[in-house]
């Protein structure tokens, strides 16, 4: 919020004001004003407490004097709305307009073996803002059990990721879907699991198809070369 510094004869003191919050409605907005000397916080005002608290011997004395000044305390209390919420609304509105569509994938991480159920993993990557909803459908009905999901995890570059596991016993003809709802899309993003083609099988199929196409190209090129060499040649019987 604000910061003031002063340095003299090798000593360093500063005042810093901060606005801290984690909810979109700013209901937990807190204003902090800290007085520090040589990197040690002496005294701090916390709007959720409503007064100064000293953390050093000198800071306790400062806190007693600050807390006697009711006008100053009322001024700091008003900063929560006047400065913190006001600026947070401006900054957040500019950021929220830049929603990024998540990249959603679904794959099998454990095949069913005997009595052990199979497990699917649905992942959403590189999305913004943080708030997202991910859930599973089996034959159109939301799955409420045997689901384990992570919280939204920050990538460190303003984007987020989230993952969800579904443990299930495969049934013939059933339809399993992973559904993601996010501010970047007006419609839910749905990924359908195809149990007949695993990810490794899809990769093998793609490699095989590429080899087939390459073989056809080589065969055609060889035929064209042969035709050109044969043109104009006269065959003489022995």
Tens digits of per-residue pLDDT, 135-175?
Answer: 999 999 999 899 999 999 998 888 999 999 999 988 888 99
3-state secondary structure of 135: strand
Helices 70-79 and 57-68 cross at an angle (nearest 10°) of 90
Is the pLDDT at 238 greater than 50? The verdict is no
Is the pLDDT at 4 greater than 80? The verdict is no
Contact between residue 66 and residue 35 where contact means Cβ atoms under 8 Å apart:
no
3-state secondary structure of 26: coil
Task: Give all domains of the chain, ordered by start, each with its CATH number.
Answer: 2-96 (3.10.320.10), 103-193 (2.60.40.10)
Q: Which of 27-41, 103-117, 212-226 has the highest average model confidence (pLDDT)?
A: 27-41
Is the pLDDT at 178 greater than 60? The verdict is yes
Summarised one tens digit per residue, pLDDT across range 91-134 is: 777 766 688 999 999 999 988 777 778 999 999 999 998 889 99
Percent of the chain with pLDDT over 70: 79
Beta strands in the chain (DSSP E): 2-8, 11-20, 30-37, 40-46, 51-54, 103-110, 118-127, 132-138, 141-142, 147-149, 153-154, 160-168, 176-182, 189-193
Both structure tokens of 71: 């006008």
Nearest alpha carbon to residue 181 among 108, 121, 127, 107: 127
Q: DSSP letter for 195, please.
A: T
Average pLDDT of the chain? Answer: 83
**pTM score, two decimals?**
0.47
Is the pLDDT at 22 greater than 60? The verdict is yes
What pLDDT, on a 0 to 100 scale, did the predictor assign at position 111?
Answer: 81
Measured between alpha carbons, how far apart are the two ends of the chain, in Å? Answer: 101
Comparing 222 with 13, the larger pLDDT belongs to 13
Mean of the pLDDT values across residues 172-190?
A: 92
Residue 47 burial (C-beta neighbours within 10 Å; 0-12, 13-18, 19+): buried
What pLDDT, on a 0 to 100 scale, did the predictor assign at position 235?
Answer: 47
Q: Which residues contact 47 (CB under 8 A, 6 or more apart)?
A: 29, 30, 31, 32, 76, 77, 79, 80
């Amino acid at each position: 919020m604000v910061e003031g510094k002063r340095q003299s004869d090798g000593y360093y003191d500063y005042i810093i004001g901060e606005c801290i919050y984690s909810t979109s409605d700013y209901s937990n907005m807190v204003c902090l004003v800290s007085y520090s000397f040589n990197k040690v916080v002496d005294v701090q005002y916390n709007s959720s407490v409503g007064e100064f608290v000293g953390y050093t011997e000198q800071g306790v004395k400062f806190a007693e004097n600050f807390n006697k000044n009711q006008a100053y305390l009322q001024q700091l209390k008003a900063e929560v709305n006047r400065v913190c919420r006001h600026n947070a609304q401006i900054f957040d509105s500019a950021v929220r307009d830049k929603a990024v569509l998540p990249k959603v994938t679904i794959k099998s991480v454990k095949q069913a073996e005997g009595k052990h159920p199979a497990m699917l993993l649905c992942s959403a990557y590189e999305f913004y803002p943080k708030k997202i909803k991910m859930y599973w459908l089996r034959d159109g009905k939301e799955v409420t059990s045997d689901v384990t999901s992570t919280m939204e995890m920050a990538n460190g570059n303003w984007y987020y990721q989230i993952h969800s596991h579904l443990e299930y016993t495969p049934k013939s003809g059933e339809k399993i879907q992973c559904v993601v709802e996010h501010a970047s899309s007006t419609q839910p993003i749905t990924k359908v699991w195809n149990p007949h083609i695993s990810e490794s099988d899809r990769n093998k199929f793609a490699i095989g198809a590429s080899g087939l196409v390459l073989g056809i190209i080589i065969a055609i090129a060889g035929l064209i070369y042969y035709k050109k060499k044969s043109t104009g040649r006269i065959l003489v019987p022995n």
